[in-house]
Structure formats: C-alpha cells, structure tokens
Structure 1
Amino acid sequence: MKIAGTRQLLSFKRLPIRVTIIILLGSLLVFNLSGWYWMRSFEISKETDSQQQLEMVASSVNNAIRTPQIPSILPYVHRFVALENIPEILERNSETTHFKSTQERLLWQRQNFNLQDIALLTTGGLIVADSNNNTIPGDLSPFAALDTEAMDKASHGELASIKFYRVKDQYYRRLYLPIRDGDSVVGIIQLSMQIPYIAELRSIRVQAALQSIIGSLIIIVIGMTIFRLIKRTLKAEETLMQTTRIEAMGSMTAGIAHEIRNPLTAIQALAEEAADQMTPVSQCRQNANDILTETKRLADITDNFLTMAKNPDVLNCDDINIEHVIESIIRLLKKGTAPNININAVFPKNPCIIRANAKALQQIILNLLLNATQALPETGGDVTIIVQNNPQTDITEITIRDTGVGIAPKTLERIFEPFFSTKKNGTGLGLPLTRALLQSMNASCKIKSKEGKGTTVSIEFPTGK
C-alpha cells in the first residue's frame, strides 16, 4: 500500500508540470496567432482605405477631365474610326493643341492628387495621352498584358483595380475607370498611385512575426530546460525512495533469513536421511535428491536476496557448461508444468562454456523460465531457450523466447523496478534480483516484448575457456 501510494504521489507531482507545459505552449500559440491576425487585419484595413481613397481620386479626375467636356478624340475614334486606323489617328492627334490641353489637364491632376501617373486610354487599351509623357500616343498601354481583365471590365463600364504590386521597395496600385458618353463607354482612365505605408506595414508584420517566433523559441527552450531539471529532480527523488526501501529491506531480510534457514536445515537433514534409506535407482530416491537440491537452492536464494539488498560487488565466477545447467532446470520444470506447455532447448554443436557463478546462474535461468511459462495462456504454448556462442566477441548469448501474452510498453519500462509486479501474488523482486546478479557477473540482460506476440529475453555472458 505504501509503495502504491508513493507511485501515485509521484504521478500527481508530474501532472502539474505537464499541464503547465501544455498551457505554456497553448498560450504562445494563441499569442502568436492573435498577433499575426491583428497585424494582418490592420494591413487589410489600410489596403481597403487605400482602395477607397483611389476611387475618390478617380472620381475627381473623371470629373476634371470631363470639364468642360470629354476629350473629343475619344468618342470620335470609338464611333467612326476602324480599329486598324486608330493608332494612326491618335498619333496625328498628338500634334494638335487639343492633345496638349488634355495632357496638361492630366499633368495637373497627377500633381494635385500626388499620383504616380494618369493615362487616357481607348476601350482597346491604346494610349491617347498620359501625364508623364513617356509613352507614344497610339501605342498599346505597357500594362495591357498584365491588366487585361481589369481593362476589359472598365471597357464594359465597371470600375476595376488590381492588387498591390511592388517596384523595388515601394508598393503601387492601378485603377481603371470607364469614361462614358451617354450610354456608351468611349474610353478608360488609368490611375497609378503609390501607397507609402503598405511597405512599412508589411515590414513591421514580418519583423513582428520573426520576433514572436524567436521569443517563443527562447521561452520553449527555457521551459524545456526547467522541465528537464524538474524531471531529473523527480527521478532522483524516486531513486532515493527506492534506495531507502532497499536499505530497509536489507535490514529486514537479515532477520527473515535467520528464520528461513532454521527450517531449511531441518528439511535438508530429513531429506538426506530419507535418501539414504531408499534404493539408489528408485524414483523416491530421485525425488529426495531433488528436495535436497531445491532446499539448497532456497538457501542460496536467501543469500542472493541479501546480496541484492546490499548492492553486491562482483561474484566469484568459474567456467561452467551452460548446457548442463539448462538441461537440469528444464527437467525440473517439466515435472510441474502442464502438458500443453512445451519447453525446448537449442545448443551449439560444441560444448558452450561461460564465466559465471554456478548458484547465481541457476537462479537466473530458473527465474526467467518460470516467468516465460507463467506468461503463456491457459491453452498452452512454447518456451524456447537458445544458446549461441560468438567467438569473435567472446560473448555467449542465451535467448529465452515464449509465445505468451507479451508485456505492455508502459509495464516494460518498469519491469526491473524493485517491488513492481503485475502478478496477483508477485513480490516484484524476481527480475531486479536477476539483473543484480547478472551485473555482479559482468553480464547483461535485454528484454523485448510485443503484446499478443510474446517476449524475448536475451542475456549475455563472457565466454569461458
């Protein structure tokens, strides 16, 4: 109950940290998106204002050009001149005083409204006159190819404009206004206007976006650093609590070991006496010998339990034939397992010798095989132990593979944690003891598992001579 309570307490401690990080990231996202949205909305509003301003200017220019009357050249070429002859007529018109008067009116309007350019066009997009006097009358407007759609709308009586376009570091906008003579559209006014603050707004928006991104990254880095520090603190706190429990266990097991050894001594003595009174080849004699073996193993387990609690140093190791150890353990296990459980062993052709402590090795193999058989479903399954020797690395690998239910990923992360167990009556000491014993023999252990597929345990020992 105390262990479960401690784990629950640590989980609650982690919860506020995770919630804080989520809130932090969410707040940064909302802040950045709202800032970008506000800047873009402001930019759109200014673009709308510039459009309205340009339309007002266009209306004033239209009225000015129509006063006292529409330039006569426009209705003339629209109604009476064939399309192929219009350029020639417009070129001739440029030499008249009427043309110069029209151009002066356009120039005055451009200067009065601070425009980039004003041009008078035919409905076909040919230049009649322009305020800057940098085009030839009768030529096609230099923007005809770009603004075909807008010009076509204006020639049909609609006010049309194009989006902002950029020249170097400035933004401009063009608007096309139809010139009517009665019910007919006889010409088009082309206005080009510089919008000075659009470039500044877009520059500010880009800078604000970059600053918000950099600021967010800095905050995230700081947050992640704090999170890692807190995570390490919690991990150290959890490790300290585990160490405290193990130290307490070490003190407790000294008394338990004494109580266990007394009845074990009596059992061992009675088994020896019974074995001496039986026929050497009888099954009863074999069973009595097995009792003696398991009694000694139980005494060794008690010693190993104490060894793990005291964080053991390196155990004394000898050269051991792993095949003999595995075969004896399998023979013992088959007596107590269901008939639908198959335990098989695969050995190399040559004898496989490893450097290990005999008692610790027996305990490790037995513990792993028991776990494998207990992981099988009620319908049974297979447990296979494979021994492989790698002469190049002087490492012998022992693989125990089962076809059981597998281990969940979250459970797999904690299987070596003392006192953690998913079994109803488990102590949570089997695998921690196994790892402690392996480390004391300069050996290692890896476990891979997939739910519904089974588990594979690989342990590696130094190869003996």
Structure 2
Amino acid sequence: MKFLGKSKYSTWLVIFVVLIILVFNASNWYIYSKIKFFLTQQLGERLANIASATAFGIDTQKIIKIREDEQACKDIKNFLENVKQNNRLADVFILDQDYHNILDSASDVSSEAFLNLDLPAITQALTGTKTHSHLYQVGDYYFESGFAPIYDSTGRVIAVLGVEADADFFQVLSSFKKTLIGAFVLSLIGIVILGIFFYNLSSHTRKVEDALIKSSALQAMGEMVATISHEIRTPPGDHQRNGRKIE
C-alpha cells in the first residue's frame, strides 16, 4: 500500500511538472507570436510608406525612357541607392507591368526568382494601392517588402516601386526567438531540478514519518510486553493481597 501511495504521488508530481513546462512554453510562444506579428506589421507599414514616398518623388519621365536613355537609367539608380542607404534597406527596385525589374539586364533573372513570393502584393500595387508582403522564410533567410504604384502624368500606373527590409531587423527577430528558446531550456532544467529536489525532500519526509511511526509502535509494543511480563511474574497471592489492601 505504501508503495502504491508513493507511486501515485510520484505520478502526480511528474504531471504537475509537465503541466508547468507546457504552460510556460505555451505562454512564451504566444508572447513571441504576438510580438513577431506586431513588429512585422509595423515593419510592413513602414516599408509601404517608404515605397510610396519614393514613388512620389521619382521622375516618371525617366522611368518611361529608362531603357533607351543611359543617363536616365544612371540617375534612377543613384536616386534609389540614396533611398536605400538613407533608410537602411536591403534593396530598392522598380518593376514594370510584366513584373520585370527594369534596372536589371535581360539575362539577370536571379532577383526575379524571389518576386514570385511577392506576387499578390505586387499585383495589388499595380491596381494603385500601396501595400506590403507577408513575412516569409526561405531557408535561413527572412523576407518582407513594401510596394507602391508609380503613376505617369495622366494618373495611370506604369510601374511598381519595391523596397526590401534590411537583414538587421530579421537578425533581431531571430535573436529574440533564440532568447526565448534559451529561456525555455533553462526553465525546463530549473523545473526538473526543483521537481527532483521536492521529490527527494518529500521522500525524506515520508521516511522520517515512517521511522517515527515504527518507533512509536515499537515503544507501545515494548510497554505492552513489559506490562504482560509484569503480570506474568506477579504471583496470584500478591494480587489477592493487593486487592485486600485496596479494599
């Protein structure tokens, strides 16, 4: 019975420790997901605003003749490079209505491979609305971009200006995630250690209680044996004399 009691106690202790770990882990990841959503949403809005301001300040006439005028192409590249440096962006680019980067050569399609992930946002920008993509991950890399339409003098959308977030932001997000994982591992170790400590403490307390119970039982048995031995050693005549004295 004692073994079953201790086994049941150990089971409840394990369940309690596991529940603490699960609750702590779930709360940490809930906080992380909320912070991640808030930060990426704020970043997306910032990227969309930068793209909109840049598109508003660009010379649309140079955009129209960029493939034919080398100087116009150079001026646009310099303008976009300044925007990139001043806002600490990873990239600034312009896409035509066929989703081609007008500043890349025809043979340079490496950057366009990643644009497939931004197609919904680019398509929305081509309709005349500034927007941003979702945060997505490709391998070990994160991406998020903002897009804004570029209008000609008649108000028609002729291209889309895109800006891509710098990797520093995502390093902060990745570091925050690693910190949460580290905190979870440390808390897991701490909870396990505390669980072992309290289990050992409880086991020791139970052993002390068992020892006290056994000691009390042995003492009671000793007293009972002494009483019985005394009764056995006392002759019947002594009992009678003792009885008369009492009378």
Q: Report the TM-score range of the alignment, normalised by the length of the smaller protein.
A: 0.5 to 0.7
Distance 1:69 1:204, change over 3 A: farther
1:248–1:123: structure 2 CA closer, same or farther, 3 Å change rule? Answer: farther
Alignment-mate amino acid for residue 158 of structure 2: V
Question: SS state of the match for residue 179, structure 1?
Answer: strand
| Contact 1:160 1:176 (C-alpha < 8 Å) held by counterparts | yes
What CA distance in whole angstroms lies between the structure 2 residues aligned with 1:231 and 1:36? 38
Name the counterpart of 1:223. 198
**Change beyond 3 A, Cα 1:143–1:38:** closer
Judging by fraction of residues, say which structure has more strand. 1
Q: How far off is 1:229 after superposition?
A: 1.5
Q: Which of the numbers 178, 181, 189 marks the counterpart of 2:161?
A: 189
Look up the match of 1:177.
148
Aligned residue for 1:128, secondary structure, equals coil
* CA deviation after TM superposition for structure 1 residue 142, in Å: 2.3
- Work out which of the residue numbers 144, 163, 174 in structure 1 matches 2:135: 163
Contiguous gaps of at least 5 residues in structure 1 = 1-13, 74-89, 130-134, 259-465
**Local SS of the residue matching 1:63:** helix
Which residue does the alignment assign to 2:42?
A: 49
1:124 to 98, 112, 116: 98
- State the AA in 2 paired with 1:200: S
C-alpha root-mean-square deviation of aligned residues, in Å? 3.8
**Which residue pairs with 1:71 in the alignment?**
63
* Alpha carbons of structure 1 residues 254 and 36: separation in structure 2 relative to 1, 3 Å: farther
* 2:79 is the counterpart of 1:105: yes
Which residue number in structure 1 is paired with residue 179 of structure 2?
204
> Cα deviations across residues 426-461 of structure 1 (Å, max 9, x unaligned)?
xxxxxxxxxxxxxxxxxxxxxxxxxxxxxxxxxxxx
| Structure 2 CA distance for partners of 1:256 and 1:58, relative to 1, 3 Å | farther
Distance in 2 (CA, whole Å) between partners of 1:253 and 1:124 is: 110
Higher helix share: 2
Letter in 2 for 1:143: F
Larger Rg: 1
- Residue aligning to 2:216: 241
Provide the C-alpha distance between the structure 1 equivalents of 2:101 and 2:205, rounded to a whole number of angstroms.
74
Which residue matches 1:430? none
Query: Cα deviations across residues 16-55 of structure 1 (Å, max 9, x unaligned)?
Result: x99xx69x85777666655554455444433333223222
Deviation at 1:60, TM superposition (A): 1.9
**1:136 paired residue number:** 105
Percent identical: 18
Post-superposition offset of 1:254: 5.9
Contact 2:90 2:165 (8 Å CA) reproduced: yes
Count of aligned residue pairs for this structure pair: 215
C-alpha distance in 2, partners of 1:243/1:156?
93
> Which structure's relative contact order is higher, taking Cα pairs within 8 Å and 6+ residues apart?
2
Q: Kindly state the Cα deviation for residue 206 of structure 1 after the two structures are TM-superposed.
A: 2.0
Pick closer, same or farther for the CA change 1:192–1:236 going to 2, 3 Å: same
SS at match of 2:117: coil
Rate the CA distance shift 1:166–1:231 in 2: closer, same or farther, 3 A: farther
Conservation of the 8 A alpha-carbon contact between 2:28 and 2:180: no
